[in-house]
Amino acid sequence: MAAASVTAPWLLRRAFQALAFSRPLYPINKKLSFYGNLCPFLLQNPLSLRTSGLGHIAQVIKGDNDVLLKGVGDKSAIEEVKRILEMARRAATRREVFHTDFLTPPVLKESMLVLEKLTDVKAAAQGGYPQAERCRISIGHPEVLTSDPDVVAAIKITGNFSFQPCSHGDFLGAILGKGIAREKLGDIILQGEKGAHVLIVPELVDFVMSTLDKVANVSVSCTQIPLLALEYEPPRTQSLKTIEASLRVDALASAGFKISRSKLVNLISNGDVRVNWTTVTKNGTILKTGDVVSLSGKGRLKIGEINTTRKGKFAVELIRYL
């Protein structure tokens, strides 16, 4: 009997952890508005996903996703997009609302492009603040997806970081060290000596506040804050102008990141270069105003205004994120 009394609480804790740290999709009856905190990709795209693609929704309901998945540019995102399409099928047929976990920018982008082709589904993404990169997508039938869901929460982590500044990786590692899966976390907004603000799924807020007591060697305390209390700054940028013979990614990225063109070509071959969060494999990929080029270890670069010179070359504004 003594052994049983000790084992029972342990089994209950394990069962709770299995539910909290797994990757379920949470159906709710709450409704969604498209005017909340939206991810950068969605700020440039209509949030209403009603189109005339009746054939596409029929294919999804029948389980035939091949046609839609053929349009996915980033092949590494296909499995995640396929899972989200299945969620859209359930949302349309059951007239429910489902939420993904936090998605990476490539998966977010590809998923929204596919969802735009569906008729009987609406979707919106939230990351907690306008510049959020990691976002959750809420998907539902248009008749039930009409008000704002509570799918993102914020935690403030404070401590004495004056003598031991901590990086994004320090905060991320401390939270993941508690057994929480990465997809349950959104962006981490560093606050300098004050600590950091962390976006997270609401159901894990209490767990983090009760268990996280250290980041690196700094003792910390955690409190939940409303999303409106998040402190963030627009990204710092630096602009430069370049004259190029073409708008190829190897030419513009070489100028923007100040590395040789031959080295840039090698980085493309290694899969280290992304355009709009999609890995590029061709040096001759043509860029346009608004495109964002990401280079592993070097940051991001946005293509600004493009003008043609008298000699037929291109005067390009490059905006480097610092």
What pLDDT digit, counting tens, does each position of 276-289 carry? 878 899 999 999 99
3-state secondary structure of 72: coil
* Mean of pLDDT values over 128-154: 90
**Confidence category of residue 194, pLDDT binned at 50, 70, 90:** very high
Tell whether the model's pLDDT for residue 235 goes beyond 90.
no
Name, in order, each residue with C-beta under 8 angstroms of 289's C-beta and a sequence gap of 6 or more. Answer: 303, 304, 305, 306
Q: Is the model's pLDDT at 297 over the cut of 60?
A: yes
Q: Which of 70-79, 122-131, 194-203, 212-221 has the lowest mean pLDDT?
A: 70-79
| DSSP-derived secondary structure letter, 187 | E
State which amino acid sits at residue 73: G
Identify the three-state secondary structure at position 136: strand
Under the banding of pLDDT at 50, 70 and 90, the label for residue 64 is low
Rounded Cα distance, 57 and 119, in Å: 6
pLDDT of 109 reads: 87
Averaged pLDDT of the chain = 81
* Residue with the larger pLDDT of the pair 76 and 110: 110
Beta bridge partners of 317: 241
Stated pTM of the model: 0.66
Chain centre to alpha carbon of residue 317: 26
The DSSP result for 217-269, as a single string, is: TEEEEEEEE-GGG----PPPEEEEEEEES--BHHHHHHHHHT--HHHHHHHHH
How far is Cα 196 from Cα 208, in angstroms, rounded to an integer? 14
Would you report the helix, strand and coil content of the chain in percent, each value rounded to 5? 35, 25, 40
Is it the case that residue 310 has pLDDT exceeding 80? yes
Q: Which of 141-150, 163-172, 202-211 has the highest mean pLDDT?
A: 202-211
